[in-house]
Amino acid sequence: MLERKSVQDKKFIYGQFFTPIDICNSIVAQIDFQDYLVIEPSFGTGNFIKALKKIKNKKIGIELDNELFSASLCDENTELYNMDFYDFMPKTNKKLLFIGNPPFRTPAYSLTTHKHCINKLTKEYDVLGCREEAVFFILHTIDIFRRNNTTGEIHYIIPTSLLKNNSKYFDRFKKFLKEQCFFKNIISIQGSEFDNVTQDLVYLSLIVKPESTQETSLFALANQEQTTVIIDGKVCNLNEYLCLENNEVIPFQKIFKKTFLGSVPCESLLMSVQGESIHQFKNRLCKIISNNNIDIETLYKLLQYNNKFHLKIFDEPFESELVQKKLQVILSYVKNIQLKPDIISEFENLNNYKPIQVRDGTRFYFRCAKLKKNKNFVYELNPNPCKSFYFTGNPSHSSTDYFGYCEYDCNRNVSPGANRTVPIDGIEDNLTENFKKWWKKNTSEPLSNVFEYLIYISRTQWYKDMKKNNKRFYFAIPKKFIPLELRKI
Ligand SMILES: C[S@@+](CC[C@H](N)C(=O)[O-])C[C@H]1O[C@@H](n2cnc3c(N)ncnc32)[C@H](O)[C@@H]1O
CA of 364 to the centre of ligand 1 (A): 42
Model-level pTM? 0.65
Measured from the Cα of 100, ligand 1's closest atom is: 6
CA of 160 to the centre of ligand 1 (A): 18
Q: Is the sign of the CA dihedral 434, 435, 436, 440 positive or negative?
A: positive
CA of 13 to the centre of ligand 1 (A): 10
CA of 238 to the centre of ligand 1 (A): 28
CA of 309 to the centre of ligand 1 (A): 34
State how beta strands 181-189 and 201-208 pair: antiparallel
Q: Is 65 in the pocket of ligand 1 (CB under 6 A)?
A: yes
CA distance 156 to 28: 11
What confidence score (pLDDT) does residue 217 get? 55
401, with CB counted inside 10 A (0-12, 13-18, 19+), is: middle
What confidence score (pLDDT) does residue 76 get? 94
CA of 11 to the centre of ligand 1 (A): 10
Partners of residue 358 on adjacent β-strands = 361
CB 250 within 8 A of CB 173: no
Q: Is 103 in the pocket of ligand 1 (CB under 6 A)?
A: yes
CA distance 11 to 149: 35
What confidence score (pLDDT) does residue 399 get? 79
Looking at 165-231, list the stretches that DSSP marks H as alpha helix, in order from N- to C-terminal side: 168-180, 216-223
Q: Is 84 in the pocket of ligand 1 (CB under 6 A)?
A: yes
Query: DSSP letters along 347-363, please?
Result: GG-GGGEEEEEETTEEE
Q: Is 64 in the pocket of ligand 1 (CB under 6 A)?
A: yes
What confidence score (pLDDT) does residue 439 get? 97
The architecture that CATH gives domain 7-245 is 3-Layer(aba) Sandwich (3.40)
CA distance 361 to 273: 11
Identity at 239, one-letter amino acid code? N
Hey, whose CA ends up nearest to atom 15 of ligand 1?
14
Hey, whose CA ends up nearest to atom 13 of ligand 1?
42
CA of 104 to the centre of ligand 1 (A): 9
∠169-171-177 over CA atoms, to 5°?
Answer: 110
What confidence score (pLDDT) does residue 408 get? 66
Contacts of residue 7, Cβ cutoff 8 Å, sequence gap at least 6: none
Q: Is 42 in the pocket of ligand 1 (CB under 6 A)?
A: yes
Q: What is the pLDDT along the chain (489 residues), one digit of tens a residue?
A: 444 445 657 788 888 899 999 999 999 999 999 999 999 999 999 999 999 999 999 999 999 999 999 999 999 999 999 999 999 999 999 999 999 999 998 889 999 999 999 999 999 999 999 999 999 999 999 999 999 999 999 999 999 989 988 788 899 999 999 999 999 999 999 877 887 777 889 999 999 998 755 454 555 555 567 889 999 998 988 988 898 866 788 989 889 998 887 666 677 888 899 899 999 999 999 999 999 999 999 999 999 999 999 887 888 899 988 899 889 888 988 888 888 878 889 999 999 998 876 767 788 888 887 776 555 555 566 767 678 898 987 787 777 888 888 776 664 445 444 678 899 999 999 999 999 999 999 999 999 999 999 999 999 999 998 888 776 688 899 999 999 999 876
CA of 278 to the centre of ligand 1 (A): 45
Measured from the Cα of 133, ligand 1's closest atom is: 16
What confidence score (pLDDT) does residue 3 get? 44
- For the chain, count helices (H), then strands (E): 20, 17
CA of 14 to the centre of ligand 1 (A): 7
State how beta strands 59-63 and 78-82 pair: parallel
CA of 18 to the centre of ligand 1 (A): 8
400, with CB counted inside 10 A (0-12, 13-18, 19+), is: exposed
Q: Is 16 in the pocket of ligand 1 (CB under 6 A)?
A: yes
If we measure between CA atoms, which residue out of 315, 201, 311, 324 comes closest to residue 263?
A: 311
- Domain map of the chain by residue range? 7-245, 247-256+382-489, 263-379
Q: Ligand 1 pocket: which of 28, 48, 64 to mutate (most atoms <8 Å of CB)?
A: 64
CA of 177 to the centre of ligand 1 (A): 21
Measured from the Cα of 41, ligand 1's closest atom is: 21
Measured from the Cα of 65, ligand 1's closest atom is: 25
Q: Is 17 in the pocket of ligand 1 (CB under 6 A)?
A: yes
Q: Is 62 in the pocket of ligand 1 (CB under 6 A)?
A: yes
Hey, whose CA ends up nearest to atom 10 of ligand 1?
103
Q: Ligand 1 pocket: which of 7, 40, 42, 112 to mutate (most atoms <8 Å of CB)?
A: 42
Q: Is 48 in the pocket of ligand 1 (CB under 6 A)?
A: yes
What letter does residue 233 receive in the DSSP assignment? T
What confidence score (pLDDT) does residue 319 get? 92
**Dihedral (Cα; 428, 434, 437, 440), 10-degree rounding:** -60
